[in-house]
Amino acid sequence: MEEIIDEYIKKGYAGLIITDHFRKCKDEKEDYLENKFMIEMNLEDFYNKFKNKAIIIQAHPHRKKHSKLSNLNPKHNNNNHLTQKVCEENPHLIATGGSDVHKREDLCRGGIYTNRKINSDEDFLEILKNKAFEVI
């Protein structure tokens, strides 16, 4: 993880938010018990409960196998042009961008740019909600 962070700093990124949709829990039973109410919620219930505290971003909405506006991993056909069209037709949607890092060569291939300082999760959510950023 330190190598990843160092590479982003070297390339001029001021911050990094890491999501890991493939992570295995160290203790799945403990994780499940702590978060059972969230794991068992359907998407609508989750949204209604956390809509003031969270934003749901769908990764790879037009990739055939998995469903980010701008996923810049060169090894996947993400059909970003289709996602761009959907976002243009639905301006309430929040389109983000990211590197989709699976290997070292995937680092620093995208993200977002904002001139606002992010000091907390709340700051980041406000930037996304207000679309005070550009996809890079």
Q: From first to last of the 136 residues of the chain, give the pLDDT tens digit.
A: 888 889 999 999 998 887 765 555 555 556 656 666 666 778 788 888 888 888 877 776 766 554 344 444 455 566 777 878 888 898 888 888 887 777 888 888 889 999 999 999 899 999 999 999 999 8
| pLDDT score for 127 | 95
Only one residue has tokens 């005070």, namely: 132
Q: How far is CA 42 from the centre of its chain?
A: 19
Residues 6+ apart with CB under 8 A from 90: none
The pTM score is 0.67
Distances (CA, A) of 57 to 2, 19, 68, 97, 128: 26, 11, 7, 10, 10
